[in-house]
Amino acid sequence: MPGNIIPAQPSQVMPYALCIAFTEELRMETLVNTYPDGSSDRLALALNPRRFFRLTQRLTAAQWNSLRAFYFANKHTAFWFYNYRECPNWHWDMTGVSTVGRYTVVFDGGWSDAVLIGRSEASFQLREVA
C-alpha cells in the first residue's frame, strides 16, 4: 500500500578520517528506451538529483582497517555521512545530531580492494537514501 514505507533510521556516523576521502557526484537517473531509428523515450526516475559519494583517496593501513570494520558493521543498514565541504566551519559531528552537511546513505556495491605497500585502495561508493 502506498504511504506505508518506513524511512531509514540510521544510528551510526561514518568516522571523520573516512568522510574526507570521498568526493560527491550528483546524478539524475533516467529510464531510456532507444528505438532502431535513433529516437528515444526518456523518463526521469526522480524529481531531484541523487547524491553518490565515491572513495577517491588511497588509504593508510589504519584508515583501511577502520573502513573495512565500518563496512562490515553497516553493509546492510543506513548510516549518516557528513559531506565535509558542506559542514559549517569544517565541523564534523560524531554524534550525528547536526543536520547541516549530513546525508543518510548506504553502501552501493560490494567490497573490492587492493592492498599496496604503504597505502591501500578500496573501490565502492555510497548512495544517498531519500
Return the closest-CA partner of residue 63 out of 115, 108, 126, 98. 115
The pLDDT assigned to 36 comes to 92
Q: Is residue 116 part of a domain?
A: yes
Distance CA 3, CA 23 (A): 33
Residue 76 domain flag: yes
Tens of pLDDT along 40-96? 898 888 788 888 888 877 778 888 888 889 888 888 889 988 887 777 776 777 787
Residue 8 counted as domain residue: no
Q: How many domains does the chain have?
A: 1
Residues contacting 86, CB < 8 A, separation 6+: 100, 101
Burial class of residue 68 in the structure, from the number of CB atoms within 10 Å of its CB (0-12 exposed, 13-18 middle, 19+ buried): middle
Residue 120 in domain: yes
Asked if residue 104 belongs to a domain, the reply is yes
Gap between the Cα atoms of 16 and 95, Å rounded? 11
Q: Is the pLDDT of residue 32 over 60?
A: yes
Helix, coil or strand: residue 8: coil
pLDDT at 28 over 80: yes
Q: Which domain holds residue 22?
A: 16-128
In a domain, 102, yes or no: yes
Asked whether residue 117 is domain-assigned, the answer is yes
Confidence (pLDDT) at 107: 87
